[in-house]
Chains A and B, each alone.
Chain A
Amino acid sequence: MIHFVLLISRQGKVRLTKWYSPYSQKERTKVIRELSGLILTRGPKLCNFVEWRGLRVVYKRYASLYFCMCIDEDDNELEILEIIHHYVEVLDRYFGSVCELDLIYNFHKAYFILDELLIAGELQEPSKRTVTRLVAAQDSLVETAKEQTSSITNIIAQAAK
């Protein structure tokens, strides 16, 4: 089971956090601080796993962002690397060559995608196409709702005239 997902920039700025196990706000800050200290200092050729508090953290760097997932000791580390990559690929498809700024300004979108990929710390969907399709469908639902509201406002405005 994935206990949490962290996206940390090379400078140690947190870009996204998702907690599947309960951690209090205080613990979260501590966890993030500890892990950025552990992970950001590791050299490029080293393995992508860090042992931490009896758990394993699998991380992978994409450009300036570190994607980290914390798992139990008996989980498959190599698979988690695939899941991270899976997520990055979906992000890439959705944003069209995603960059850190996309994730900053559209952090909620990054969360929506993650929620289509993982629930309860387990993988939900192996197909990138399905994930993008589902997110897109929900986005268009939001768009329609917005259009409706604006058209209703227009109608009201016109009626008021």
Chain B
Amino acid sequence: MNPFSSGTRLRDMIRAIRACKTAAEERAVVRKECAAIRAPINEDDQDYRHRNLAKLMFIQILGYPTHFGQMECLKLIASAGFPEKRIGYLGLMLLLDERQEVLMLVTNSLKQDLNHSNQYIVGLALCALGNICSAEMARDLSPEVERLLQFRDPNIRKKAALCSIRIIKKVPDLAENFINCAASLLKEKHHGVLITGVQLCADLCKVSSEALEYFRKKCTEGLVRTLRDIVNSPYSPEYDTSGITDPYLHIRLLKLLRILGQGDADASDRMTDILAQVATKTESNKNAGNAILYECVETIMSIEDDGGLRVLAINILGKFLSNRDNNIRYVALNMLMRATTLDAQAVQRHRATILDCVKDSDASIRKRALELLYLLVNENNVKPLIKELIEYLEVSDQEFKGDLTAKICSLVEKFSSEKIWYIDQMLKVLSEAGNFVKDEVWHALIFVISNASDLHGYTVRALYRAFLTSTEQETLVRVAVWCIGEYGDMLVNNVGMLDIEDPITVTECDAVDAVEVAIKRHTSDLTTKAMALIALLKLSSRFPSSSERIKGIIVQNKGNLVLELQQRSIEFNRILQKHQKIRSALVERMPVLDEATFSGRRAGSLPTAISTSSGAPSNLPNGIAKPATAPIPDLLDLSSDDVPAPSSSGGDFPQDLLGVDLSPTLAPSGAGKPPKASTDVLLDLLSIGTYLPVQTGSSAADILSSSQDDKALASLSSLSANATSPVNAAPMMDLLDGHGPGPQKPKENGQAYQSLVAYESSSLRVMFNFSKQPGSPQTTLIQATFTNLSSNVYNDFLFQAAVPKFLQLHLDPASSNTLPASGDGSITQNLKVTNSQHGKKLLVMRVRIAYKTNNKDVLEERQINNFPQNL
């Protein structure tokens, strides 16, 4: 005998596992047991097979993998004895499911067992088949099951009936084979057979309309009779459940009658009497009775009927609703939900009770009640109900607030014919549960506010008040900040005062304070801060006297760790400092949001920024000013939509800010729009009447330099620089900083090439300027300029470069080998690169820079792949 298989008995193993104090200990025991079980499996040992499988099942229940035991189940099932088969089938149902290929192997054993002379073995096979059979097995074994529906022993017939349910669910085509046998089961006296037979008929009706018609015609009468018999049956101890004879049979009969009565007046008519009897006579003090009443109510609601029975049903639900048992209240809410479509008025009568259920301490009941109440809200009761719900919002559980808020918002929006009411309610929701408000909801609110021009003043004041009392609700802060930015002047001057309002004195300083609070809140997320930043920019124009202070706040964000805010504050700071001319136009109030655009956006089809900007500005004769307002909607977008990830390509930012796609000109390698189109847009934006034919890849500077307002444009283009990839953006940044080698100036003759920051680290910057000699396009002259960014002098400075074979490189001596600290001077070195495959391949170069600083040798290396494409 195998030394391992003599191991522990099942009981001992369970005891050992239970004795484990830690999960690790348990795992160790299980591992050891699994190893001991595997060994005899491999040796095909029969003695302990069923004990081992039992152990495996226990291990499986604990959640450990047991797939290696699957074949053992099959072997046990194939063995002759009942004990082996019993444990084998149990293992089969536990360790396998219908999706495993192995299961197919059991089909033959099952077939034999279904024909076995021992009825208990037949029972085992039916049970396994009913619980886990796959579609293929269902097809293969369906004839056996059909035959067993007429087996002499009722216990086999009932199993076969349930097995048939599984079969027709897996393979609905087989349904018609079962119709006749199922109908004959309905005449049985044995309760087990009867309930399974009724259940089978119900499931047959679901998959086959033929079956439905058949049972409706032939069986309705009989079923009504059976139900009447069981309702009126005397006490029978075997089937009694708290004073009711076989509630399960009641329920199944009612369910089948419901299916038969639905959509058929005649059948419905035949069952009304018995339904009325069940509804009135069933005891409702025990769960079993209530289960029957519940089923009966559902049947009454579903069948075709005059109002009489329905009144009875709704009354039962009313009684349920006032029951003290939570289970009963739960099902009542559930059922009332279905009743709303039938008789909304009757359900409305219970509105107050339902509202109480929304405030219940039980989460399941609350959820049901809220969903039901949601259906009950109409124009007439929306105001008081919303009032109640919002009041409850203050005290409700945190985990319920999400659901509740969503429902309130949805209702308020649905019945928002009165704008001031909508705004009021939304403000309440935002102040109570702003953190649970979804993005599209507050976007919609801003949209409504923007459209309600007579309420701008009222809204901004109300928001300001709300903001003062609760700053911890993110969305409230956002909407408040947006409105203060837009309508700050109305806030301060009490413009558009409504009669219902209390006057409020807000100084410009207070308004700026509020936005400052928003931007400095620790909990504010990026979106909120970005919105606050924009609001500040807007306020700077609305309140010229606070302009300096606002600049101060904006400047504080120049060093922000979040790129988006950093960049934005630098840009805004520039606008404040240098571009007073365009500022007021740039930050004009948002035009009323176009409804079509907005709903289009909500539907998910975001119109591109281009479409908003390119049309309008071109019609306007003059103005950097005017056109600038059109793209502003994108400012909102920028802050409301997800902020572009810092890693995204070239033109994200300018696209958002100005609604212009500058990316192709900036990132020639980017797969953006064709450069021509982008220049067009740029021209539109700048309203330059002439169209400059610009070649692919020529730098933005070409266009920019030919415009009237060099400075503004330079800064506009600098706005578009993307700081995420320093290599591309650096020249632009230089522009912004106001020093730097203006490579944008077009050369008098020949093409201009954008200069390139070939290398930049914390300590060193290498800049390449390109030029070509006329007549030899394949040769590029590169002037490399090295700048020391650290505070230490670099000695023994050596620049080396290497190129692939198709290039030829000539390196001139450097201007010096000492690089002064802190950018206080630079080394230049000229390179000449000849491209033998000019026009086919691009320049590529590997550089190595060696120098000594603080007596330490430093070596920096880099591959340069981003040479301008037109070289």
Taking Cβ atoms with an 8 Å cutoff, the residues of A that contact B are 14-20, 22-25, 28-29, 32, 42-43, 45-51, 76-79, 81-83, 86, 104-105, 107-108, 111-112, 115, 119-120, 122-130, 134, 137-138, 141-142, 145-146
Query: Is A124 touching B291 in the complex (CB atoms < 8 A)?
Result: no
| CB-based contact A14/B63 at 8 Å | yes
Q: CB distance B294 to A78 under 8 Å?
A: yes
Contact pattern, B 190-224, Cβ under 8 Å of A = 1, otherwise 0: 01100110010000000000000000000000000
Establish whether residues A129 and B238, one from each chain, have CB atoms under 8 Å apart when the complex forms.
Answer: yes
Chain B residues, CB < 8 A from A16: 61
Complex CA distance for A48 and B327, rounded to whole angstroms:
6
Q: Per-position contact with A for B100-135: 1 when CB-CB < 8 Å, else 0?
A: 000000000000000000001001001100110000
**B-side contacts of A134, CB under 8 Å:** 123, 155
Can you list 23 pairs linking A and B with CB atoms under 8 Å apart? Answer: A14-B62, A16-B61, A42-B363, A45-B326, A47-B330, A47-B362, A47-B365, A48-B327, A50-B364, A77-B334, A79-B247, A79-B251, A81-B327, A107-B61, A108-B90, A119-B131, A119-B162, A122-B162, A126-B249, A127-B239, A137-B120, A142-B82, A145-B83
Quick one: which of A46, A76, A124, A128 contacts B158, CB cutoff 8 A? Answer: A124
Q: How far is the CA of A85 from the CA of B331 in the complex (A)?
A: 18
Inter-chain contact A130/B294, CB cutoff 8 Å? no
> How far is A31 from B57 in the complex, measured between Cα atoms in Å?
19
Given the known inter-chain contacts A81-B327, A108-B87, A120-B166, please indicate yes or no for A141 contacting B82, CB distance below 8 A.
yes
Given A20-B131, A50-B364, verify A78-B90 contact (CB < 8 Å). no
When the two chains form their complex, are residues B163 and A17 in contact, meaning their CB atoms are under 8 A apart? Answer: no
State the Cβ distance, A92 to closest chain B Cβ, in Å. Answer: 15
B131 engages A120 (CB within 8 Å): yes
Q: Given A47-B329, A105-B14, do A82 and B248 touch, yes or no (CB 8 Å)?
A: yes
| Residues B192 and A125 in contact, CB atoms below 8 Å apart | yes
Min CB distance B335 to A, Å, is: 11
Could you list which residues of chain B lie within 8 angstroms of chain A, going by C-beta atoms? 11, 14, 18, 54, 57-58, 61-63, 65, 81-83, 86-87, 90, 93-94, 97-99, 120, 123, 126-127, 130-131, 155, 158-159, 162-163, 165-166, 169, 191-192, 195-196, 199, 238-239, 241, 246-249, 251, 255, 287-288, 290-291, 294-295, 326-331, 334, 361-365, 367
Q: Please determine whether A119 and B83 come into contact, CB atoms closer than 8 angstroms.
A: no
Given A49-B330, A119-B126, A120-B166, do A78 and B196 touch, yes or no (CB 8 Å)?
no
- Contacting pair B90 A112 (CB below 8 A): yes
Q: How far is the CA of A19 from the CA of B65 in the complex (A)?
A: 16
Which of B54, B98, B246, B294 meets A22, CB within 8 Å?
B98
> CB-CB < 8 A to B329: which residues of A?
47
- Contact pick for A46, options B241, B246, B361, CB 8 Å: B361
User: Which one of A49, A130, A146 contacts B192 once the chains associate, using CB atoms below 8 Å?
Assistant: A130
Interface of B is mostly: helix
Q: How far is the CA of A126 from the CA of B162 in the complex (A)?
A: 14
Seed contacts A17-B61, A107-B57, A108-B54; 4 additional CB < 8 Å A-B pairs: A51-B367, A78-B288, A83-B248, A145-B83
Partner of A145 from the list B81, B248, B255 (CB cut-off 8 Å) is B81
Q: Which of B11, B82, B94, B97 contacts A138 (CB 8 A)?
A: B82
By the criterion CB–CB under 8 Å, are B330 and A79 in contact?
no
Chain A residues with CB under 8 Å of B330's CB are 47, 49, 77
Residues of B within 8 A of A119 (CB): 126-127, 130-131, 159, 162-163, 166
Q: A47-B327, A122-B162, A130-B192 are in contact. Are A112 and B287 (CB under 8 A)?
A: no
- B248 & A146 in contact (Cβ 8 Å cutoff): no
Residue in A49, A79, A125, A127 whose CB lies within 8 Å of B295: A79
Closest to B166 in A: A120
B332 to chain A, nearest CB (A): 11
The residues of A that contact B249 with a CB separation of less than 8 Å are 126
CA distance A16 to B334 in the complex (A): 30
- Which residue of chain A is the closest to B254 with respect to CB atoms? A76
List, in ascending order, chain A residues with CB within 8 A of B62's CB: 14
- Nearest chain-B residue to A81 (Cβ)? B287
Question: Is there an interface contact between A122 and B165, defined as CB atoms closer than 8 Å?
Answer: yes
A82 close to B241 (CB less than 8 A) = yes
Q: How far is the CA of A146 from the CA of B287 in the complex (A)?
A: 44
User: Are B61's CB and A141's CB within 8 A?
Assistant: no
**How far in angstroms is the closest Cβ of chain A from B406?**
16
In the complex, how many angstroms separate the beta carbon of A93 from the nearest chain B beta carbon? 13
Output the nearest chain A residue to B202 by Cβ-Cβ distance: A122
CB of B174, distance to nearest CB on chain A (Å): 15
Given contacts A76-B251, A130-B155, contact A122 B99 (CB under 8 A): no
Q: Is the CB of B192 within 8 A of A145?
A: no
CB-CB < 8 A to A137: which residues of B? 120
Give the CA-CA distance A25 to B82 in the complex, in Å. 29
Chain B contacts for A25, CB-based, 8 A: 65
CA distance A134 to B62 in the complex (A): 28
When distances are taken between beta carbons in the complex, the residues of chain B under 8 Å from A20 are: 131
- Indicate if the CB atoms of B120 and A124 lie closer than 8 Å: no
**B361: chain A residues within 8 A (beta carbon):** 43, 46
